[in-house]
Amino acid sequence: MNQHRWLTQACLAIVTGVCLIGFAGCSTSASTDSESSQLSQNAVVSKDTPERRSAIEAAETRAKQFAACLTESGIETNIYDDNDVYIVSGRQYAPKTAVVVRMLDSAGTPMSWSDDAVAEQVANSLYSDSNMTPIGEDGRVWVFFRDSTQLMGTPYAGKQAAYQACERKNPEFEQADLDAIGVTEYPEEAWQASLEYARDCRAKGFSWVKDPVRGEGDKPGEGPGIQIPNGISDEELRRWLKECPTADLPPWSAEMLYADRGNNYSEILRQYELEHQ
Q: What are the per-10-residue average pLDDT scores of the chain (277 residues)? A: 40 36 40 36 59 93 98 96 89 93 90 66 76 74 93 95 98 90 86 95 97 76 89 96 94 88 90 87
Residue 67 CA neighbour count, 13 Å, CB half: 20
Residue type, 170: N
> What is the predicted pLDDT for the residue at 129?
75
**Tell me, what's the pLDDT at 79?**
96
pLDDT of residue 5: 42
pLDDT in the model for residue 237: 96
* pLDDT for residue 221: 73
Nearest to 142 by CA among 115, 104, 95: 104
Q: What are phi and psi of 230, to 5 degrees?
A: -70, 160
Element holding 72 (H helix, E strand) = helix 50-72
Cβ atoms 35, 180 nearer than 8 A? yes
**What backbone phi and psi angles, to 5 degrees, belong to 135?**
-120, 120
pLDDT confidence of residue 131: 60
* Single pTM value for the model: 0.70
pLDDT at 93: 93
Residues 77, 68: Cα–Cα separation, whole Å: 8
What letter represents residue 138's amino acid? D
Whole-number Cα distances in Å, 199 to 158, 253, 267: 61, 13, 26
Quote the CA–CA distance of 107 and 146 in Å, as a whole number.
23
